[in-house]
Amino acid sequence: MKPFLPLGKYSFGMGDRFAHQGRAQLQACLLATQLGAHFIPVWNKSNREHSFIGSEPASTRAAADDAVRCLGWQLPYHVDADHIRLETVDRFIPHSDFFTIDVADFIGKPPDPASLAAFATRHPELIGTIAIPHIDQPFHATREYVEKIAGKFLRAVQEAGVIYRRIATAKGSANFITEVSMDETDSPQTPPELLIILAAIADEQIPIQTIAPKFTGRFNKGVDYVGNLVQFEKEFTEDLAVIAFAIRQYGLPASLKLSVHSGSDKFSLYAPMRRALQKFDAGVHIKTAGTTWLEELIGLAEAGGDGLEIVKEIYAYAIEHVDEFCAPYASVIDIDKARLPSAAAVDGWSSAQYVAALRHDQQNPGYNPSFRQLLHVSFKVAAKKGDRYLTALKKHEAIVGRNVTENLFVRHMKPLLLGQ
């Protein structure tokens, strides 16, 4: 396996749409460190987000470096080129040291028949009865089964190899972290399917450190998990078992861990995840994506005056363009349009009413998950406001930053690792 940049045991992907909350986000990591929970911060932003905002990858690196310098952070930190593909990776290479390789478009595409047959021949250990420690029942696989599963994922893994080598040629393999995203598929991967995927990744000589598989249930943007918690815990635990097995079997990096995408605000999952992680003494990577953007809106609403005015305007534009904004995220949102208040109604809200509807407090009778999800996917509205929005963030930096820090530290980090 080629050399690679190591990733800490627990890492936290922090999205920052407008690159203004780096210090507030890092403050959450500092608070966690003081309690003995060491999260490595990873600032992530995708090509799509840069396109919507009109920003460049250099801005994400600059914001991360500024936060680290100002707060005196002594542990590693990283900048993630989130969900990159071959056609988008080049603009990120100078500025990122973490690359989430998105090969969703290649899942299900048939590989070359010769390469498929060669894969099955190269891996006789995948055929027959395989017993994986900590999975109750051994599983049985025929060559036909291995070729069927490889037929679904092998082409995607091969594409990941192409992208990985593109980055490695430009940066050197020891200078970045590789994640492979396999979560955008129709059904959760079973243990043998995940093992086949990891065998294929090892064949491509990708020193993968995080992998994002598909889990059961709904991982909607910015709201809690919807699904069977018992089934999720079983899948999460079995995935950890497969990873531990594959590390030994295929010489994959010992730091290889699960990555939970759309992890923001999946509060109900943190207890089962913590139990599983403790069982295996395993690490995890969590991506929180747009949570910070929503905390900016909450902070501006709390500030009142011009802050409340601008967030009301943002919602008014969002509700007017609801179908346009929701279309790109249709698979990861569930919005009940009947529960979306009118722009006129929101215009009459107080700061407290706006905050109650948006803040993810399921005990608050004013909380509105449809309202929250719509604003989650409507960040381009703030981008259209340009300097006016950014000026508001600077003016109300203290209250916005407090919300950003408390959200990450209190609602995410403490429950996940400390059980608090």
pLDDT digits (tens, 9 = 90+) for 283-299: 999 998 778 999 999 99
Q: What is the pTM of this model?
A: 0.95
Instruction: Let me know: does 376 contact 293? Beta carbons within 8 Å.
Output: yes
Round to whole Å and give the CA distance between 12 and 21. 15
Round to whole Å and give the CA distance between 262 and 218. 10
Going by C-alpha positions, the residue among 274, 199, 206 that lies closest to residue 240 is 274
Round to whole Å and give the CA distance between 399 and 396. 6
Round to whole Å and give the CA distance between 362 and 151. 43
The sign one gets for the Cα dihedral 404, 264, 294, 62 is positive
**Residue listed under structure tokens 């059961």:** 216
Burial 101-112 (b: 16+ CB within 10 A, else e): bbbeebbeeebe
Going by C-alpha positions, the residue among 31, 7, 98, 21 that lies closest to residue 412 is 31
Round to whole Å and give the CA distance between 178 and 268. 28
Taking CA atoms, 354 is separated from 311, 338, 357, 373, 377, in Å, by 9, 18, 5, 14, 17
Round to whole Å and give the CA distance between 236 and 383. 37
SS (HEC) of 336-366 = CHHHCCCHHHHHCCCHHHHHHHHCCCCCCCC
Each residue's pLDDT tens digit in the chain (420 positions)?
789 999 999 999 998 999 999 999 999 999 999 999 999 999 999 998 999 899 999 999 999 999 999 999 999 999 999 999 999 999 999 999 999 999 999 999 999 999 999 999 999 999 999 999 999 999 999 999 999 999 999 999 999 999 999 999 999 999 999 999 998 788 899 999 999 999 999 999 999 999 999 999 999 989 999 999 999 999 999 999 999 999 999 999 999 999 998 767 899 999 999 999 999 999 999 998 778 999 999 999 999 999 999 999 999 999 999 999 999 888 889 999 999 999 999 999 999 999 999 999 999 999 999 999 999 999 999 999 999 999 999 999 999 999 999 999 999 999 998 887
- Reported in sequence order, the residue ranges of 7-85 that DSSP labels E, i.e. its strands, are 10-15, 40-46, 78-84
If 0-12 CB within 10 Å is exposed, 13-18 middle and 19+ buried, where does residue 55 land? middle
Backbone angles phi, psi at 85, to 5 degrees: -125, 175
Going by C-alpha positions, the residue among 159, 2, 11 that lies closest to residue 75 is 11
Enter the tokens of residue 340: 């979306």
The sign one gets for the Cα dihedral 261, 267, 269, 275 is positive
